[in-house]
Amino acid sequence: MRSYNLFCLKSLDGLVCAVPEDYAVPAFVTEARWAFGGKLDGSTPRPVGFDGAAAATAVRFNGFYLFQSMGGGQG
């Protein structure tokens, strides 16, 4: 599994931007609006709402994956 850095939107609970570790963080992810939410790799549980297949497709086209996390903890 690919490793991701997770960023949580401060103004909307549960919206997460997953960015592969080896990719640049998108320009819209700024410290003023987003908080670092941790790392996701093969040794950490996936946040509720994270879909690995959808993430792979989104990253291929956009360089990041946005998803709505319904659980607590990461994201």
In tens, the pLDDT along 42-64 reads: 888 899 999 999 999 999 999 99
Residue 74 lies in a domain: no
Amino acid type, 44: T
DSSP state of 57: H
In tens, the pLDDT along 18-46 reads: 999 999 999 999 999 999 999 999 888 89
Residue 75 lies in a domain: no
Residue 17 lies in a domain: yes
DSSP state of 3: -
Ramachandran bin of 43, using left for φ above 0, alpha for ψ from -120 to 50, beta for the remaining angles: alpha
Residue 41 lies in a domain: yes
Residues in the chain: 75
